Structures are given as structure tokens and as C-alpha cells.
Chains A and B, each alone.
Chain A
Amino acid sequence: MKSRQIYLDHAAATPLDPRAKKAMEPFLDDQYGNPSSFHRTGKIVKDALEVARDKAALVVGAIGDEIIFTSGGTESDNLAILGFARANKEHGRHIITVKTEHPAVLQAAKHLEVKEGFEVTYLDVDEDGLVGVEDVLAALRPETILVSVMLANNEIGTIAPVAEIGTAIKKHRSKTSSNFPVLHTDACQAVGSLEVNVQKLGVDLMTVNSSKIYGPKGVGALYVKRGIKLEPLQFGGHQERGWRPGTENVAGIIGFVKALEIAEAERLGYAEKLISLRDYFIGSILTSIPKTRLNGHKDLRLPNNVNISFLDIEGEALLLYLDAAGIEASSGSACTSASLDPSHVILALGLPFEVAHGSIRFSLGRSTTKKDIDFVLAKLPEVVTKLRQLSPVNVDQKYF
């Protein structure tokens, strides 16, 4: 008999929705044409691609040609930051972002800072991971061309006040009679959980990803508001308005857009179910296991995100013990990162390294049941007790 395995790492990857898979199948089979070709085989595929573009636009409140398909969230973030900054640098060389952003945004911004003469302000967050609208406004300068604030954090699930920031930036632009700064948001983790309407959010650029929303890997999109100019990151074709040249990943795009439509259609039911599971899970851990703390905001939080620091324990060791018990999660520990640095997000909350080292993210998904959570709750205390027995560390109680 196969031993029980509970997957709680949906913020890393989700299984492919069978409906998305089915939508993709013709394009892995007889619909193989190149959308750029001038014959029927190509035209059929081109039509499917453009229908998909319109559908994706509809979900996010955009118009078709504002959607650029990419290879995923990382590329969309890079195209937004690098592509926008390079194309608009004559208007200013200052960018504002937040310390808890995804590395795709932070490292792109860092690259501009170190190699291309830009100045970047990395805003602090509060102890729950929230960035303040007033902090964004206070950091604005005449030469600020871009503000990038992620909609929901991938590690701690905290939801940023992007709509308020959008409103404030619009007001600032009209006051200064300027088209700058523009606002980018990374919405990779938010799609399917929150409304991601670009009009309501007031964003000019938005990153969306397929593999977090039960679509295939290796595909995503960048919403680019009409009138905004980008510089492509690669060259060699006219596809995606020349901003993302290369033959389109048609099957991937079709699957992604189907997954996007499903995620939006099922959003309210999904969020309602997971919020109650999430709060049950968080409450049970905090009351049943001593020296634990919730990372991220209690309420302004993604429905599927549970991020807990188990103090006095190192996260990788805990992950491996959990894996052996049939529970799959992820950690902000240095030992699981290639850099050997602990989570920049947990550190940005003002917590010391040892708290970051012991952080574990459980991310729930569509298939997660209360039974799964109860299984984890039954296993966790023994695993934590065992590792604490080995540990010489006793973290100060002010952190839990």
C-alpha cells in the first residue's frame, strides 16, 4: 500500500487541472502550426492564441493586446522591471520596491542599481509584512519612474494594499501632470485567491503565472497597459509585439489561460473553503505546540498560506522529518536555499536569523481536506519534540 503523502507546497507548484490539460492536448498533437505562418495550419493556431489572449485579458479586466505571454512569473517580473526601466530611463532613474518582494523583482532592481546607474528604494514592511501607502508616497521623487509592490507575498501570504497604492499614485501623477511613476504588481500568488482586476488595482503592469494556478509550468503573462513602452530582454522576432520574440509556447498558453479562467470562476468558493481550513490549522498549531509563531498578517493573508516559525529548530531538518512522515512543505531556512541565506522576507519582519531559520511554509490547495490537516497536526508535535531534544538552542520568548 502506498503510504500517505500530503502535499502542502501549492505555493511552489500545483498539479495540472485536467480541464487545462484537455484544452492543451490538440496543440501537442495535430495543431502544431507556427502562429506566424501564412497557411491554414498556422492560422488555426494563431486564432486559438489570440482567442486565449482575449480570454486572459477579460479575466484581469484588460484588453487583448495588453497581454504579453512569457515563460512565467520570473520572466514577467524581469520584463516589467528591466524592460520598463531601460525603455524609460530618460524620464528618471529611480525605482521603488519593497524588501519582501520576490527575488525576480529584487534582483532585477539590484541589477539596475549596480550595473545601469539606477537608484532603488527598498521599502520596509511592518511586523506583519505590510507596506504602508504613506511610505510609498514618502519615497516618491521627481525622477521615480516605477513602483513595484507585490499583491500577495509568496512566503508569508500577506496581502499588500495595492489598490490604495494605485489610487495614490494616480493622484500623484495628475498632481504633477506626469505619466510617471507607473505601478507594477507581481500577482503570481494572488490569482485564484483575490480579485486581480487591473482597473480596480490601478496597476500599469501586472505579472501573472500559470504554474501556481493549476496550469502548466513554463508559461505566464505580463499585463502591459496601453501606452506603456518596454525594451525587450531578447531579440529576434516580432511576436508578442516584439517585446517577447520567439515562437509562442502555444499549448502552454492555451493551458494557462484555461487554468486562469477556472481559477477566477472558482475563486470565491476556493477562498472560503481554504480560509476556514487555514485558520483551523494555524490556531491548532499555535495552541498545541509551544514556541511557535505565525509569520505574516493574521487576516490580510492568502487563503492557502500558513507560515510558522518553530523556534529552536532548523527548518531543513524539520522539512526532512516531515517528508519522512509523508508531509511535504517548504522552509525559509538558509540550508534549503542556494545562497545559504535565510529568508529575506522573514528577516524583513524584524525577526532575528534564528527565527527565520526555523520557518516552515505550508501552502494548502484545492484538494486539501480537514483530514489532511488533522494528519499533519497529529504528526507535528512528535517531530518538533524530537528535533528540539537535539537542539542546544533556546530562543528568547519575546519572539513567540
Chain B
Amino acid sequence: MGIEAKKIKGSGGDVESHDRTQSWFYSDVVKEHFFKPQNFLDHDPLPKEFNAMGKVGSPACGDELRVWLYINPKTERIESFKWKTFGCGSAIAATSITSVMVTENGGMTLEDARNLKPQAIMERLGGLPTRKFHCSVLSDKALRAAINDYFRQSAQFDKIEAEASRLIDPVARVTDKDIEEAVLEGAVTLEAVQEKTKVGVANPSILPGVEELIRFYKEKYFG
């Protein structure tokens, strides 16, 4: 699989590279999508233009991404994928290429879209620096959040899917279920959830993911 890091020559970034022969910090595909981003939302969304919205990350963690979808209610294929991203070069490129992947060939089905893996996005980008992978590729998560939003808006509540249950913080032994309970108990900010669970206190690198989960459960239970 072509998911090796590809970067870096010259100064500027200190991202580790396994390929020191390229002339730019990222692959050519990343460069193309970074300088000529596709499908970003360049206006305020019009009424009825979209029927789903998803958001992940926060500017505090360095990346925030919002996507707006138009899902054809008859075919349940994604006809339009628009986005805005606050983030580094690879985050912008990853979102841009996701918008292309999701809408090409008549648009993805919701099932295929839910199964879109970050690895596939990275592969299509021609690789990303290893340490950029987790923080940059958020578009699959935003996409899943938007699909849940579509089901919520179209009152198909049984089709809303939480992210799979998993250990979030191996240091504090906190799972997503713990976070769900904390939110249900009324802790809806990162600080409040940390007070209850100690999640990420000794492990701040996981906080972006924790914030996503808090937002997910908050929206799930409190709208």
C-alpha cells in the first residue's frame, strides 16, 4: 500500500520523511488539492441547498472541519459535498480530495460513504507524512457525522450509528461509553468530562478525538 510518508526537502517543516527526493513538503496530489481546493463552500449555505451537516475537530486542536451534504432522498446517494477547513496543508488537501471521492461517479451511497476509511483517502492523496495522518484526515469522520445528521433530519433515527465502542484513553482507561455516560450526566464540555473521567489529562494528544465524541453525544442526546 502506498501509504508511506512522502516529504521532505529543505527547511520549514520538521516532519520526518521516508522519501527525501521530492521537491515539496507533500505529494503532488496534496499540492494540487492544497493550492486548488475543490468543492469548498464559498458562500453561506442557502435554504434547502443541503440536507446534512457534520463537524469535527476544533480550532484549539489545530484542525476544524465542517461539511455540508446534499443527499438525494430518493436514491440516498451523496450529490453534493461542500466543506470548510481550518487546518494545515494536508488537512485542506484531505478534505478536498474526499469531496471528489464522495461525489464522483454519480455520488457514493451512504453505506459506502460510512465505510470510507482514512487510509483510502490518504492513499488517493499519494501518501502523507506519518505523524500528519491522524490529525489531518478528519473528513471521513465529518462525513459520518453528516450522514447521522441526515438520518436525524429525515427522522430515520434507527439508522443513526455511533462510532464503534473503543478504548479512548489507554492511560486513564476511559472508553467512549464512559464519555457517553459523562455527557448523559450533564458534562458537555471537555473540562467537565475531564473532571469526571480524567480522559486525556496525562495524554493530551487524544483530546481532539474526545472533543468529537463529546459533541457527538451532546448532539445525540440534547439535539
Quick one: which of A256-282 are within 8 Å of B by CB?
Answer: none
1/0 per position for B75-99, CB-CB distance to A under 8 A? 0000000001111110110000000
Among A63-71, A106-114, A229-237, A314-322, the one that faces the other chain is A314-322
Asked whether, in the complex, the Cβ of B59 is within 8 Å of the Cβ of A389, the reply is no
Chain A residues contacting B11 (CB-CB under 8 Å) are 9, 12-13
Chain B residues contacting A328 (CB-CB under 8 Å) are 12
Asked whether, in the complex, the Cβ of B86 is within 8 Å of the Cβ of A323, the reply is no
The interface size of chain B toward A, counting residues with CB under 8 Å, comes to 33
Known: A315-B88, A392-B66. 12 other contacts (CB 8 A): A317-B91, A324-B35, A335-B135, A336-B13, A336-B14, A338-B15, A354-B86, A389-B42, A390-B84, A390-B92, A392-B55, A393-B64
Asked whether, in the complex, the Cβ of A389 is within 8 Å of the Cβ of B40, the reply is yes
Asked whether, in the complex, the Cβ of A330 is within 8 Å of the Cβ of B62, the reply is no
Interface on A for B, CB 8 Å cutoff? 9, 12-13, 312-317, 319-321, 323-324, 328, 330, 333-338, 340, 342, 352-354, 357, 389-393, 395
Among all A-B residue pairs, the 9 with the closest Cβ atoms: A335-B88, A392-B84, A354-B59, A316-B88, A353-B60, A393-B86, A392-B66, A334-B62, A391-B86
Are A392 and B86 also in contact (CB < 8 A) when A340-B62, A353-B59 are?
Answer: yes
Are A333 and B89 also in contact (CB < 8 A) when A320-B25, A320-B34 are?
Answer: no
Quick one: which of B127-170 are within 8 Å of A by CB?
Answer: 131-132, 135
Q: Which of A316, A333, A357 has the most CB atoms of chain B within a 10 A radius of its CB?
A: A316
- Report the separation of the CA atoms of residues A338 and B63 in the bound assembly, to the nearest whole angstrom: 16
Total CB contacts across the A-B interface at under 8 A? 86
With an 8 A cutoff between CB atoms, is B110 at the interface? no
Interface on B for A, CB 8 Å cutoff? 11-16, 25, 34-35, 37, 40, 42, 55, 59-66, 84-89, 91-92, 131-132, 135, 205
B138 CB, min distance to chain A CBs, angstroms: 12
Q: Of A323, A390, A395, which contacts B37 at CB under 8 A?
A: A390
Asked whether, in the complex, the Cβ of A391 is within 8 Å of the Cβ of B85, the reply is yes
Asked whether, in the complex, the Cβ of A317 is within 8 Å of the Cβ of B92, the reply is yes
- Report the separation of the CA atoms of residues A330 and B14 in the bound assembly, to the nearest whole angstrom: 11
Chain A residues contacting B40 (CB-CB under 8 Å) are 389-390
Asked whether, in the complex, the Cβ of A316 is within 8 Å of the Cβ of B13, the reply is yes
Are A317 and B12 also in contact (CB < 8 A) when A324-B35, A393-B64 are?
Answer: no
- Report the separation of the CA atoms of residues A337 and B131 in the bound assembly, to the nearest whole angstrom: 11
Chain B residues contacting A314 (CB-CB under 8 Å) are 62-63, 86-88, 91
